[in-house]
Structures are given as C-alpha cells and as structure tokens.
Amino acid sequence: MSNTPNVLRKVLIANRGEIARRIARTCRRLGLATVAVFSDADEDALFVQEADEAVRLGPAPSRESYLSIEKILAAARLTGADALHPGYGFLSERAELAEACAAAGITFVGPSPQAIRAMGLKREAKRLAAAAGVPTVPGYSGDDQGDATLAAKALEVGFPLLLKASAGGGGKGMRVVRAAGEIEASLAAARREALAAFGDDTLIIERYVSSPRHVEIQILGDTHGNLVHLFERECSIQRRHQKILEESPSPALTPALRAAMGEAAVRVGRAIGYSSAGTVEFILGDDGAFYFLEVNTRLQVEHPVTEMVTGLDLVAEQLRVARGEPLGYGQDDLVQRGHAIEVRLYAEDPASGFLPQAGTLVDFHVPEDEGVRLDTGVRSGDEVSIHYDPMIAKIIAHGASRAEATRRLVRTLERTSVQGLASNRALLVRILEHPAFAAGELDTHFLDRHFAGALGEPADPSRDRLAAIAAMMIAHEAHAASREVVPGVPNGFRVNFSVPQTVTYGVGDRSLTLAYRSRGKGRFDVALDVPLHGGESRAVRLVSWAEPTLVLEDHDGHRHTLRVVVDEAAATFYVHSTRGSTALVERPRFPEPGAEAVAGGCVAPMPGRIVQVLAAEGQAVARGAVLVILEAMKMEHSVVAAIDGVVTRVAVQAGEQVEGGQILAVVEAGEAAAV
C-alpha cells in the first residue's frame, strides 16, 4: 500500500443493517459520500434509505448478494466509489475482496490482503502467534482434513474439544465434542455449516478450556508501522458460542495482566504487519493464564465498547489509516475511561433454544438515555428476515463505574420495547441484574450455570392484568372516537346499569377476561378473571393516552406508564412497561360463522339416502377422493374430501337417511396416502 495519503470522497459500504448505518454515520461526519448495497430483502431498510446512493445487488440469499464480490465491485464502479468498507461478517475477512479492490483501484478499508489471509486461516494464525511467543491452546490446524486424521488429532488434543471452521468466526460452524463417539457426526455437521457460512469447510481442532473467559484485545495499526492496542473487551457471556454481552474493562483483568495481554496482542499484530483495526481473541483461564485464539481482521461487532471507553471512533480511525495517515498517537496516549457494556438484542426466543425469529417487528423502541448508545438497523414495522443474522440492535451504556454502566443499561433495556417477535430483552436484563454478573464472576458458561432451563421471560400475572386494563381502555377510547351515533354521550352510558361489558384476551396460551363499567372521564370499575356476576371490582383511571404512551392510575393510586402498540388487523395489543411485555389478542365477541361446524367435515349437500360409503376411518385420502355417495331427487351425489388428510370419522352407514347439512365424514389434515 502506498504511503502517500489518498483523497477519499465516496465510500461503498459492503454490508447491511446496523453496521452499515454505523459506518455511514462516521462517513457523513467526515464529509464522505456513502453508497449502500442491498439485497431484495433489504430494499426498504434504513441503511439503504440513509445512504447517499444505493445499488441493488440481487436476491436475498447472501451468496447472491452480500457475498458476491463481483456484484459489489460492479456497484463500486457504477457509483464511482473510491473506497470500500466491508463492515463485519460477510466478505470482511475475505482477502479476495481486498485484492479485488486493489485491482480496481479502490481503497479497501481494512488490513492488507496478506494480513487477512494469514489470520483468516486459523491454524496459520496460531502458528504465527506461537512463533511470536504468544501462548496458544493445544490443537490441530493441519492441511490434512481427512476424517481419519481429524479423528486421530482429536484424540491427541483430548476431550472436550472444539471443532471450528478455519475460515470462520462468530461461532458459526463451531461445535463442542465431548467424546470420541461424537466425532464423526460433529465433523460432518461442522463442515456443512462452515461451507454454508464461509464457502470453505476446512476445520481446526482445539482443546476446549473449561470455565474460560473470552477476553479480546482491540488493536489498531497504520501503514507507517505504528501499532497500538485499545485495551480489552470481555465477551464471556455467550449463547450457542455467540457473544451477547461485552464489556470493557474486563472485571477479571489486573493492570499487569492487561498490560501482558495487550503486549501479546501487539506482538501478534506486528508479526503480520497489521494495519487498520483488528481484534486478537484470547481465552483466559481462572488461573490468569491466557491463550491466543484468533485474530479478527476487521471491525468487531462489539467495537462500540472500546469506542466508549477510549473516546475513539474506530471507523474514523480505519478511514484515516486507509487514507494513509499515521495514527498520530502512541500506546501511552491511550487510557480507558469509565466502563462500557454492550448487549446484543436479538430477535430470538431464549425459551426455545434461542430459536431465531423472523417476521414483522411490530414495535421497536429504545429510549434515548444519557450515556447510552444505540446501534440498530431496524425500526418499527420492519421485517426481520430469515436470510440474515437476527440481531436487532446493540445497546451500549457507559458509566463512571461498572455498576453505573450496568444500572444505565438495565434502565434503558427495561423501557425498551420489542414487539411482534420474541427477543432476548428480558434475559439481558436478568443477566445484568444477576448477582454473579455484579460480582464479575463470568465465564462462557454463564447462562448454563445461572439460567439453565429458565431463559424465557418470567410470567407476571399482575403485569398481564394491568396490560389487559390498558388494552380495554384503548379500545374504549377508540370506540368513542369512531362512534357515529351520539358521539358525545359517554361510552357505556346507561340509565339503568345492569351487566358490565366484558372482553376476553388471549395471553400466550391462557385467556384473561375483564369485566368493566365505564364511570366517565376515564374512570372505570374493572374486575378481572371473575365470573360476570359478582367478584370484586377495582376503580382504575385512564390518565392519558397518546399513542403509544398510556398512563393508568391503579386503585391504589399507583400510576403506571405503559407503551402500547396496537396491531388492529391482528386484534393484538402489545403492552410494555418496565415490568416487561404482554401481548394480548382480543378474542372476538362472537364465533365466526361456520366456526362451530366441524373443521374438515363433509356434509350432505341436501337431504337424501346414503347409497354407498367408500371412506373408512383411519384411511388416508387425497383431496377430491369420494367418501360417500348420496342419492337424492333421483340423482347420485358424490361427497368428496375437501383436503388431503386422514378420515377420522365416518358418521353414516349405507341406506341411512340424512338431513341436508348433516356431517357424513370428517377428514383431518395430514399426510395423504403415500403413493
């Protein structure tokens, strides 16, 4: 790379979502034009709208969009971009992209292709680190990727061990193998995942350190040979080997250990002539011993933590380095100020194995609080696609102390509303409030140790009841506002009050019935989950409602501020307060016509006599199969299966007289007869 400063004018951001927005933010601040690239799935995304220019790459699957070097380079040429920032993930650690940029005369914002290549292959990286005198975890990273070799090497390294994608990162393609018997299946699965995620199924094996902490050092180098570290980030709290909470400083590091690890990281960086921002990952044992894991030759997801404690803008630093500028400061100029903690908010269901969620984010709101930073790529109403990582946002809090940063983050998270999709929001709050977290007692098994089997949002019936009252009040207001007839007469006005109004909500798999009487001016008497007649009611008051904020005063004078988002089409009220979220589905007051009829029931089209019964209970039938033949008005009528399924009931016999509309047979959906 040339040492004469480049003039950059326009940066193409070869990424999506929050990181694309975050990079663009710095570009704008520095006066650089931005180009977004996007897949079909992202065409309405914020990062696309906010960019100065945007180019469609192609279909949603990453391989056909964000992983296509060819398409991205074409976009750069089309827009005349003179620099390319790869973000994290996707192509960020592909040397080929850096090379293609160089060939096209585009400045790649990142390290040299050589450095990427050297670190991209994990075993190569490990060898380099060891050569630089940095301790590494025992393992195998050889070229021989045969099943037999890998199995043999696994036995050498010992169990438990970790199988990782050599080209990977971020936990993808990573599997713990606890016994020799699991090797064969794990190898196949790890290869499959590695190939799918990175296009390379080379694996490495390493010892799985028990009770380990994940501590990484941010490094930053320029093209003039300057290289500093920006201290550590502890990322021990993980689920499925992926980080969900990162902080700096690490509560586990003494100044001496920090200096030692920082120095080791810089040594690795120097060994490969590293420029730009990178991360050297270590495993830290409880004995204070640390082992080199790998180098991520890119901006890290959790980089904001470092930015908040160092005051540096890492993207700005990357751009400065890419322009060929010297860092202009040395290690001694850098200090860690206060404490920063980041949490990753995911659209996933912790209660069911962190299953990623896809669908519409009905509501997404993070309050703006002092000392809290939000990096997100989505807003209310966006679709969370199955094609990409389900991370919705990163929320980062800074404080003078770890406790202060924790409190700030908790307060913000408690008021953060994620509706329409399950999220790990409540779990993040519980982690932050856990005594072990406060004590700094972290390792990568934190969740298993402290939350085993209880990862979902805890039930809170009184929260649900409050939510039901809020939903009722909102509907009540809406009914008043939409009523054409006597709109000025108070809702529920009676000269002879008899029966309260009732409404039933589905909350999860339970239902909640609310009986209420409007007293006018926002006052109500409500009774919950009691029979219609009798039961104690409580006086509550709607203080204010301006979507989405509802203030409700309970019978005890306690005022609650709730965030309520109404999805009218789905008759669903999403209610959020600091006590958590409740989604209420208003049950219709009346059964839908025909709902009473048996689903899948085949009925007689008219009164008649059964001539023949062809269906037998338990029989699999295809749609259109004749079940019963009916004779009426001297004509034979065939009654057929409306769906593919299994005959669960035959209600008539040949010769029987039937009424029109009478059920003759029932077919339930299921596998049709195997042919």
Q: Interface with other proteins includes 135 (CB under 8 A)?
A: no
Task: Report in angstroms how near the CB of residue 479 gets to other proteins at its nearest.
Answer: 4
Task: Report in angstroms how near the CB of residue 490 gets to other proteins at its nearest.
Answer: 7
The one among 589, 634, 635, 674 contacting other proteins by CB under 8 A? 589
DSSP 8-state symbol, 247: E
Q: How many CB atoms lie within 10 A of CB 514?
A: 22
* DSSP per-residue letters across 143-159: S---HHHHHHHHHHH-S
Q: Interface with other proteins includes 573 (CB under 8 A)?
A: no
The one among 494, 510, 555, 623 contacting other proteins by CB under 8 A? 494
Per CB under 8 A, the segment of 148-156, 299-307, 324-332, 493-501 that binds other proteins is 493-501
Which residue, 400 or 478, has its beta carbon nearer to other proteins?
478
Task: Report in angstroms how near the CB of residue 660 gets to other proteins at its nearest.
Answer: 7
Task: Report in angstroms how near the CB of residue 341 gets to other proteins at its nearest.
Answer: 46
Do 278 and 305 meet the contact criterion of CB atoms below 8 Å apart? no
Task: Report in angstroms how near the CB of residue 482 gets to other proteins at its nearest.
Answer: 9
The one among 7, 103, 256, 486 contacting other proteins by CB under 8 A? 486
Which residue, 191 or 476, has its beta carbon nearer to other proteins?
476
Q: At how many degrees (to 10) do helices 113-120 and 122-131 cross?
A: 100
Q: Is 298 annotated in the active site? A: yes
Per CB under 8 A, the segment of 91-99, 455-463, 486-494, 554-562 that binds other proteins is 486-494
Beginning with the edge strand found earlier in the chain, give each strand of the sheet holding 608-613 in spatial order: 635-640, 626-632, 608-613, 657-658
**Could you tell me which residues are beta bridge partners of residue 553?**
541, 559
Q: For 415, phi and psi rounded to 5 degrees?
A: -100, 5
Q: Interface with other proteins includes 659 (CB under 8 A)?
A: yes
Best CA proximity match to 607, nearest among 569, 645, 657, 561: 657
DSSP 8-state symbol, 423: -
Which residue, 239 or 476, has its beta carbon nearer to other proteins?
476
Q: Interface with other proteins includes 480 (CB under 8 A)?
A: yes
Give the max Cα distance, the chain. Answer: 102
Which residue, 102 or 480, has its beta carbon nearer to other proteins?
480
The span from the CA of 213 to the CA of 285, in Å, is 6
Which residue, 5 or 588, has its beta carbon nearer to other proteins?
588
Which residue, 516 or 574, has its beta carbon nearer to other proteins?
516
The span from the CA of 163 to the CA of 180, in Å, is 13
Instruction: Exactly one of 94, 117, 213, 298 is catalytic; name it.
Output: 298
The span from the CA of 155 to the CA of 629, in Å, is 68
Q: Interface with other proteins includes 491 (CB under 8 A)?
A: yes
Which residue, 329 or 493, has its beta carbon nearer to other proteins?
493
| Footprint (CB under 8 A) of other proteins, residues 593-652 | 593, 596
Which residue, 102 or 663, has its beta carbon nearer to other proteins?
663
| Footprint (CB under 8 A) of other proteins, residues 501-540 | 501, 503, 518, 532
For residue 427, the surrounding DSSP H or E stretch is: helix 425-432
Per CB under 8 A, the segment of 63-71, 164-172, 355-363, 587-595 that binds other proteins is 587-595
The one among 213, 214, 258, 476 contacting other proteins by CB under 8 A? 476
Do 455 and 446 meet the contact criterion of CB atoms below 8 Å apart? no
Pairing state between β 276-284 and 213-221: antiparallel
The one among 251, 273, 492, 605 contacting other proteins by CB under 8 A? 492
Which residue, 485 or 675, has its beta carbon nearer to other proteins?
485
The span from the CA of 389 to the CA of 240, in Å, is 14
Do 20 and 28 meet the contact criterion of CB atoms below 8 Å apart? no
* DSSP per-residue letters across 278-343: EEEEEEE-TTS-EEEEEEE-S--TTHHHHHHHH---HHHHHHHHHTT------GGG----SEEEEE
Question: What residues contact residue 551 under an 8 Å CB cut-off, 6+ apart?
Answer: 542, 543, 544, 545, 559, 560, 561, 562
Per CB under 8 A, the segment of 202-210, 242-250, 473-481, 629-637 that binds other proteins is 473-481
Per CB under 8 A, the segment of 370-378, 421-429, 478-486, 557-565 that binds other proteins is 478-486
Do 357 and 421 meet the contact criterion of CB atoms below 8 Å apart? yes
- Applying CB under 8 A, the site for other proteins has a residue count of 31
The one among 31, 146, 255, 488 contacting other proteins by CB under 8 A? 488
Active site residues: 298
Q: Please report, as ranges, the residues that interact with other proteins according to CB under 8 A.
A: 475-476, 479-480, 483-496, 498-499, 501, 503, 518, 532, 589-591, 593, 596, 659-660
